[in-house]
Chains A and B, each alone.
Chain A
């Protein structure tokens, strides 16, 4: 990289926060997937929104293309360079919890604050965020999770996705201007609500945008009181159709705060310490024991009606899922497959299509000779399937098969009318190519409007 540009960047953020050291560039070439390995040309670590703005000014002036990175924990290559000549803006320095507003039930953090730091700060005060860190990687940054469009968790049944819990953002647009979304868009107003302050849901624009519309510098999230009583349930089903009926009824009756599903094949493939069956786990929360016992009884009745076998001795099993390392790497950092690469295909579909989704997965796996595995999160009325296509990094043929199976599964799911989310990374170009042309043109026109010099890399580029 041109030394004059390095100097300009150093003048903005401080010389110790800019690096074009080849070793540093090398370690920034990957996230928690081995899908890409392109080196950036420079890594910059700004400490404020103003510094981000000025860094983007340098990028605009010198036609340097930019991606942002926080924890770099996606297993689908969302936060690493996919082309040459890129600047990485690394948000790790901006990692503070800025404001806990208990009256407004919101918390504001800087972009690079990890979910762990956030939870650890608010939990002792009796608060939590609805979508827990387990779903997005303990080391992942809050903003990265949002721009990646991630954010399902074992508590999504009640709290929905991350997008449902964002109350406002501070964003540096590609042209360097700093904006606020939500109620904070009114000068002098605090961030407490995303539905006021602007005529449209501008917050939603940045969700899953892979950073193409701007760089998030602050995020305000809704907080919820910690539950007083929690009870866990585990049921085994002979068929996915029985499980999907049970899930549908539980959600229709608004009983569980957390629900997720493992297919028989996933349990077998991963070696999780669970009975080999189609499994549904649920967590039921409340403010007192009577309330939770009542909900749990209804939950068990529904499960029984649908043929579910209650697994009563679940202390060890659910302990492993919720509190042990299994949770951390299966649902936290998604690194279960030791020594392997994997990439994750994220598919969204209505609850009653679970069986169809699983059968398509099985067909793809068989066709390509691999064993995809995963978990299905239940978020209100929708199922979010995380499907892993595993391969060993050092075996190119396995990698080719996994990618082929994943791409074909995505095509097939889309053809069947299923949605995708977290669309940055390896499958993003295919995803955008299937999008309605007018919708895509609209997104492209927004990108052009906010980023006339096209410095931010769009997810559909590879």
Chain B
């Protein structure tokens, strides 16, 4: 069997095991690889996994069930590549390891199997019926075709309806009435790509791309960082004719602010603290090809009365929320512990409002508060769309 990691053979051979990938840097506030501290064992960290890849490619090691925990413990957050000085695409390599694991027929973690089964059954990560996908929009009367199509994704469609509703309200406040695919929308395919089920992911991507192109939309807007990255980076790889402009809602809002199309109320919403900080989702910022750091910050700072403060580790040095790489589904405890750490860091800034722009991150942070309510309950965790919507004059 030809291994998927072979595609990166040259890159893997570059690794000289210097350990930079752990994010140790005297020059920046770093130490962002959580695997080193959490597992402690070299074989779970990026340096160790690249060594494992070498052994796999050299035939000195086979894909066996002993490797599964190591392969699926990774947050796939791309932090390692931020510090590696060599051209090593860790995210792609570790995702290729997952494809190999699937193709080798290994026993995958239960959480992964659960997601894949749900996606096969119902087209969403929760396994909830397809008909309920657009229930959140029932009172909004959204069109089926428009220049702008909003792609809420599984989380905002089923669990975090508040994000989808806020996003639509913000767009409408600026005079944009977006279309949605409604019940016909499928999961963006990212969970399948992350799980190693590349072929199944392709089916989802082709189907969604076809439907999105059929709407005649010029722009697709996503409020989920994972959906955004998948639509922007992965869709054109699999469907070359998919040439629709893909924006994260923060980018669209940035443009709306610039065009003076969002009008805020003053003073700001009662009870909302003016001290605000922001968490960068990996799939919106650090991973190759996206790099959306400025837009959400500019949007936040456009709201009157906001005192924006950065967390010590931000932008490319931001820690993954803990839920990346499907780790929330394979190691919930680790995912939440990481989120607790980040919220404690947020506490140190004095911020009372904690904004992110990915529902998966938001949910994980909400769960983290439950773990340490005494110290974290005062933090108001909201999505960027919610934050802006709350501040609109027309809201």
Contact = CB atoms under 8 A, between A and B. Distances in A.
A165 B50 CA distance: 36
A176 interface: no
Interface in A307-354: 323, 325, 328-329, 332-335, 337-342
A22 to B, nearest CB: 8
A139 interface: yes
A23 B178 CA distance: 52
Contacts of A235: none
Interface in A387-446: 393-394
Interface stretch (A2-10, A25-33, A156-164, A280-288): A25-33
A117 B31 CA distance: 8
A341 B87 CA distance: 16
Nearest to B50: A27
B374 interface: no
Contacts of A45: 40
Nearest to B18: A333
A17 B41 CA distance: 9
B18 A329 contact: yes
Nearest to A115: B26
Contacts of A75: 16
B270 interface: no
Given A24-B43, A27-B42, A115-B26, A71 B66 contact: no
A150 interface: no
A137 interface: yes
Nearest to A133: B26
Contact of B61 (A24, A26, A119): A26
B85 interface: yes
Interface in A250-295: none
A27 B36 CA distance: 14
A418 B25 CA distance: 34
Contacts of A114: 24
Interface residues of B, number: 33
A337 B14 CA distance: 9
B18 A137 contact: yes
Most buried by B among A31, A134, A325, A341: A325
B14 to A, nearest CB: 5
A366 interface: no
A120 B10 contact: no
A71 B22 CA distance: 11
Contacts of A139: 18-20, 22, 24
B40 A92 contact: yes
Contacts of A337: 16
A32 B84 CA distance: 14
B67 interface: yes
Interface in A5-52: 16-17, 19, 21, 23-24, 26-28, 30-34, 45
A116 B30 contact: yes
22 contacts: A16-B40, A21-B43, A23-B66, A23-B67, A23-B70, A27-B52, A30-B51, A32-B19, A92-B36, A116-B25, A120-B31, A138-B26, A139-B18, A139-B20, A328-B25, A329-B18, A333-B20, A335-B18, A335-B85, A338-B14, A339-B13, A339-B86
A339 B14 contact: yes
B29 interface: yes
A132 interface: yes
Contacts of B291: none
> Which of A30, A45, A93 has the largest count of B CB atoms less than 10 A from its CB?
A30
Contacts of B31: 116-117, 120
A115 B24 CA distance: 9
Contacts of B66: 21, 23
A383 to B, nearest CB: 24
A73 interface: yes
Contact of B51 (A26, A132, A328, A329): A26
B17 A30 contact: yes
A139 B25 CA distance: 8
A72 B19 contact: yes
Contact of B13 (A23, A26, A138, A393): A393
A92 B43 CA distance: 14
Contacts of B139: none
B14 A138 contact: no
* Residue of A17, A71, A75, A333 contacting most chain B CB atoms (<10 Å): A333
B111 to A, nearest CB: 21
Contacts of B43: 21, 23-24, 26-27
A173 to B, nearest CB: 26
Given A134-B26, A333-B18, A24 B13 contact: no
B52 A32 contact: no
B48 interface: yes
B1 interface: no
Interface in A80-94: 92-93
Contacts of A34: 16
B26 A23 contact: no
The 8 A-B residue pairs with the shortest CB-CB distance, nearest first, are A139-B19, A333-B18, A116-B24, A27-B48, A138-B24, A335-B16, A335-B18, A139-B24
B55 interface: yes
Contacts of B41: 19, 24
A34 B67 CA distance: 23
Contact of A120 (B14, B29, B61): B29
Contacts of B18: 32, 73, 137, 139, 329, 332-335
A332 to B, nearest CB: 8
Nearest to A340: B16
A17 B40 contact: yes
A138 B40 contact: no
Nearest to B19: A139
A328 B61 contact: no
Contacts of A325: 85
A21 B42 CA distance: 12
Nearest to A325: B85
Interface in B1-34: 10, 13-14, 16-20, 22, 24-27, 29-31
A71 B19 contact: yes
A313 B17 CA distance: 35
Given A23-B70, A27-B52, 13 more contacts: A26-B52, A32-B16, A32-B17, A45-B40, A93-B40, A116-B24, A119-B26, A139-B24, A140-B19, A328-B20, A329-B85, A335-B85, A335-B86
A337 B55 CA distance: 21
Nearest to B88: A338
B10 to A, nearest CB: 7
Nearest to B27: A323
A71 B10 CA distance: 25
Contacts of B26: 115-116, 119-120, 132-134, 138
B124 to A, nearest CB: 35
Interface in B107-160: none
A449 to B, nearest CB: 34
B19 A137 contact: yes
A261 B281 CA distance: 43
Contact of A26 (B17, B24, B55, B85): B55
Interface string B35-59: 0100011110001100110010000
Of the listed residues B18, B27, B55, B86, the one surrounded by the most CB atoms of chain A closer than 10 A to its CB is B18
Contacts of B27: 323, 328
A245 to B, nearest CB: 33
Interface in A57-97: 71-73, 75, 92-93
